[in-house]
Chain A
Amino acid sequence: MSNSQKKDKSIMKEEHRRVKNFLLHIGDFGCNFGKDCVNTLSFVGEVFIALIYAVFHPRKVRWRETFYYMDSCGSDALPIVVVVGFLLGLVLALQGAIQLTHLGAQDMVINLVVLALVKELGPIMIAVVATGRAGSAFAAEIGTMKVTEEVDAMVTMGFSPVRFLVIPKVIALMIVLPLLTIFGDIAGIVGGMFVTYFKLGISIPETFHKILELITFSAYMQGFLKSIVFALLIAGVGCMRGFEASGDAQSVGRSTTSAVVSGIFLIAIANTIITIFFTI
């Protein structure tokens, strides 16, 4: 075989190796993705069954832990929710005032603030805050329990980790997140009213009357439904990532980060779907 023929043969071999590696990577990715999907579906199914069980057997719910999470995810989060809500409403009204004044529609500023907050920004903003606080905390707690074999102990005692660890968190967040959203919306609306009163000179009674007309049942339900769905997603994803942690501190850190990132991603998708559902 000549030198050039040998060279061609080695180039072909290299190409085959690259194609084989590429195909292996695709195969690996596909298998891992498939496994992840199966695990996620399995987890979702378990949580769903455990929730139904909790509804029919309320005495079996671990209420002490549920109230603990309601306190840490609810009342402890209230100050930041109120501050962020107020500032969001303020900024939204300021930006809206600049643009709407050009069009002579400055009296619509409060419409913009109220509807945007109640239907969209309020639930999302509170959900993102909750993901960072509650979602990461749930993942870290369960991840640490995995490292210290507490989850293994639970399984060998015949207890369902989903019933013991996930359901109290899900119930707690499903109760407090809509309440936090209401507080966040009120704080945001107050922020908007600051702008309409001090910058645009619109009287508070006039603004207040308009707010009452704007917050229709449909507008409120959209925000409420979003906050319930977001609560399920945040608690569910946080717990699921916690269960995925393996035996070391690094994996607990990774699962905590993943809980926040996945939570925010799922909130964005769920928000889009619910908004489309309410606007078609």
Chain B
Amino acid sequence: MKKETVVQIRDLTIGYNQRTVLKDLNFSVKAGEIFVIMGGSGCGKSSLLKNIIGLYKPFDGDILLHGQSIVKANLKEKNKLMRSFGVTYQDGALFGTLTIGENILLLLDEYTTLSYKEKEKIVMEKLSQVGLAEFSNYMPHEISGGMKKRAGLARAMALNPKLLFFDEPSAGLDPISSAELDRLILKMGKKTGATIVIVTHELDSIFAIADNVIVLDKEKKGIVAMGNPYDLQKHCKNKWVKRFLDRDGLTRKI
């Protein structure tokens, strides 16, 4: 059965301050897959993500989410599109004046007409899914970095979106916490059938969870490889990509 295209990037050129960072990008993300945008430091991965989620306007090209252009949308359409996906930021981006529970409740208050009890139930459900049920009344500065990321994920899932974006989810986490977060992402994806787009350069995470990847190159300002990470590692003819995926030949000493 042919899978629906959830994210479509067409001839996209992005940058800032009149400087082009990436040009002529073309790729798509199918429904239900875990898609990774990877590349070296400073190649524009996070900038690309911020363009896709509508925070920046691209220089040229189009970005379609669920078949609708977020670039050409007016303010009302754009806000509606933004509510159809959830975003987890690098440090969680939780609102510091609200508790963890209130961060999730905010979305439910704004976009649903549920009773307070029903909203509270959803908040506890989302926090339980990420293992933070006991921390509902904690403030963001009272929890660890890993917990903030999980709370950010719970908030991103508040309205049960079918599309999720992650910006460097494993950054700053120890290997165990990173693996726990990867397991959580896999679990969320399987349970909800959501399409997940992750920006990262953590190889362990990429090989553990990615269905497909694109590899961005800073100097070429574009995509240099696309496909399953294992296939790329074995068969990719681009030497730089192979070096990247093999960690430049520096493997673990056993």
Contact = CB atoms under 8 A, between A and B. Distances in A.
Asked if A and B are interacting partners, one says yes
Contact of B89 (A65, A68, A149): A149
Nearest to A168: B97
B87 A153 contact: yes
B249 interface: no
Interface in A51-90: 65, 68
Contacts of A150: 93-96
A43 to B, nearest CB: 15
Given A149-B89, A149-B90, A155 B55 contact: yes
B118 interface: no
Contacts of A149: 89-91, 93
Interface residues of B, number: 22
B188 to A, nearest CB: 18
A156 B88 CA distance: 10
Contacts of B94: 150, 153
B79 interface: yes
B184 interface: no
27 contacts: A65-B97, A68-B97, A145-B96, A148-B93, A149-B89, A149-B90, A150-B94, A150-B95, A150-B96, A152-B50, A152-B55, A152-B93, A153-B93, A153-B95, A154-B95, A155-B54, A155-B55, A155-B82, A156-B54, A157-B106, A158-B79, A158-B80, A158-B82, A158-B83, A158-B110, A158-B111, A159-B110
B53 interface: yes
Contacts of B107: 157
Interface string A247-275: 00000000000000000000000000000
Nearest to A68: B97
Interface string B67-105: 000000000000110110101011101111100000000
Contacts of A145: 96
Interface string A139-177: 000000100111011111111000000000000000000
Q: Which of B82, B85, B97 is most buried by chain A, counting CB atoms within 10 A of its CB?
A: B97
A156 B53 contact: yes
A157 B55 contact: no
Contacts of A156: 53-55, 82, 85, 87
Query: Which of A145, A153, A157, A158 counts the most chain B CB atoms within 10 A?
Result: A157
